Amino acid sequence: MLTKTVIVGSAIGLHARPAAIIAEAVAEAGVPVTLSMEGGEPVDAGSALMIMTLGAGNGAQVTVASEDEKALDTVAELVQKDLDA
């Protein structure tokens, strides 16, 4: 499993809008991707609702994991962006 730890870039954190954008990217990739915070259980990044349960605010460290390097990089990039802009 490939992993990458990134910092949440969205000003309000991973709330509805960023979560939906990330979940859509995972659906398009067609491979499993998970997100987790230190000490927490991984959640399915293909589900906006599950992403929101992380409670990841701006500046939080989130670990992205996937067997697919392209999907991993795409989701990691999205988590780091301010998707509210």
For the cut 80, the answer to whether the pLDDT of residue 63 exceeds it is: yes
Q: How confident is the model at residue 22 (pLDDT cuts 50, 70, 90)?
A: very high
Q: How confident is the model at residue 84 (pLDDT cuts 50, 70, 90)?
A: confident
Q: Round the CA-based radius of gyration of the chain to a whole number and report it.
A: 11
Predicted model pTM: 0.96
Beta carbons within 8 Å of 52's beta carbon, 6+ residues apart: 14, 15, 16, 19
Closest CA to 18 of 70, 63, 67, 75: 75
Closest CA to 34 of 69, 14, 64, 55: 64
